[in-house]
Amino acid sequence: MTKIVFLTFLFSSLLILLTFLNYKIEVIDSKIKDTEIINQKLEKELAFFKSEWEFISSPENISFLSNKYLNHKPTELIEFEDFVNLFLNQGRVNE
């Protein structure tokens, strides 16, 4: 009789422990699923931002924006003798 009571108690304890373990596993599984959903959203946002950055940093767009906002003029290179003459004559170039 005591063996049956002991085995019943042991079996009941194991079932209770398995129930708690199953609950913990379900909680962790729901956290993993939530994290995967957030990860998928972040991957979509990253892909969107990468495409936006590729458009913004494209050579055509940079050229357009620099022409529109920087007001720069193309430069021409001068030869070394002209530079020396310019430097020695303090701005007067002999031609």
DSSP letters along 13-71, please? HHHHHHHHHHHHHHHHHHHHHHHHHHHHHHHHHHHHHHHHHHHHTSHHHHHHHHHHHT-
**Is 78 domain-assigned?**
no
**Is 86 domain-assigned?**
no
**Is 84 domain-assigned?**
no
**Is 91 domain-assigned?**
no
**Is 47 domain-assigned?**
yes
**Is 85 domain-assigned?**
no
Task: Give SS3 for 9.
Answer: helix
Q: Domain range spanning residue 11?
A: 2-70
Q: Mind listing the pLDDT tens digit for each residue in 12-28?
A: 999 999 999 999 999 99
Structural domain tally of the chain? 1
**Is 92 domain-assigned?**
no
Q: What's the confidence (pLDDT) of residue 93?
A: 47
pTM exceeds 0.75 for this model: no
Q: Mind listing the pLDDT tens digit for each residue in 39-65?
A: 999 999 999 999 999 988 898 988 888
**Is 93 domain-assigned?**
no
